[in-house]
Chains A and B, each alone.
Chain A
Amino acid sequence: SAVISQKPSRDICQRGTSLTIQCQVDSQVTMMFWYRQQPGQSLTLIATANQGSEATYESGFVIDKFPISRPNLTFSTLTVSNMSPEDSSIYLCSVEGSSGSYDEQFFGPGTRLTVL
């Protein structure tokens, strides 16, 4: 299985500012995914980050608002830019890892963001 850590675990930010969330994995992985989970809601994919290429964003998410870096096979960052209260969510990264015979997606612990 993959061990994933995220920093920060939580933060309270002022509107108009930006926050960069870090995701670190204990093994090299090809694809990393960033999800958003709004309060009481399901998980929505923001983008897929492959090392060495631009991130692929899902409908409704744009690079200017959520720039992503993927400098190597164990690390990625997601920035939430020019924040508003609507950005208050839990942000989770996930990776594919091996668990026995098959791969599965493992999630990081999440970053709980509150925007005032």
Chain B
Amino acid sequence: GENVEQHPSTLSVQEGDSAVIKCTYSDSASNYFPWYKQELGKRPQLIIDIRSNVGEKKDQRIAVTLNKTAKHFSLHITETQPEDSAVYFCAASYLAGGTSYGKLTFGQGTILTVHP
């Protein structure tokens, strides 16, 4: 089955700096890669995702890049703010046509702390 590795496990940055979190996956059939943000005591919420037919996607201060050959994808957060502090999870899934994502395999998570 799919295995997703995520690094680093913790990341501390100063407000305004950029943050990068990296994930690798094992199953070359995976074609959908979402990123979730989980604040303390809250449910995971999707912040951005990418499908394997594109190499990069941006949404304001966040972006995700995908390298299918190397089987890794990364989350980039620019101009970080204290409210970006949370646990971030990457995930991988296989989208078999239509829009059904099926099960997600999650990385181990990254605790991001943004210091004011």
Contacts and interface: CB of A to CB of B under 8 A. Distances in A.
Chain B binding surface SS class: loop
Interface string B100-116: 11111111110000000
B57 to A, nearest CB: 12
A42 B101 CA distance: 19
A115 interface: no
Interface stretch (A20-28, A43-51, A63-71, A75-83): A43-51
B82 interface: no
Contact of A59 (B1, B34, B100): B1
Nearest to B51: A102
B43 interface: yes
B49 A104 contact: yes
Interface residue tally of chain A, by bracket?
20 to 34
B46 interface: yes
A30 B99 CA distance: 12
B89 A43 contact: yes
29 contacts: A30-B100, A31-B100, A31-B102, A33-B103, A33-B104, A41-B108, A41-B109, A42-B89, A42-B106, A42-B109, A43-B104, A44-B106, A45-B103, A45-B105, A58-B103, A92-B44, A96-B100, A99-B46, A102-B49, A102-B99, A104-B34, A105-B34, A105-B46, A105-B104, A107-B43, A107-B44, A107-B45, A109-B42, A109-B43
Interface of A: 30-31, 33, 41-45, 48, 58-59, 92, 96, 99, 102-110
In the complex, the 9 A-B pairs of residues with the closest C-beta atoms, listed nearest first = A103-B99, A107-B43, A42-B106, A43-B106, A45-B103, A42-B109, A42-B108, A107-B44, A104-B46
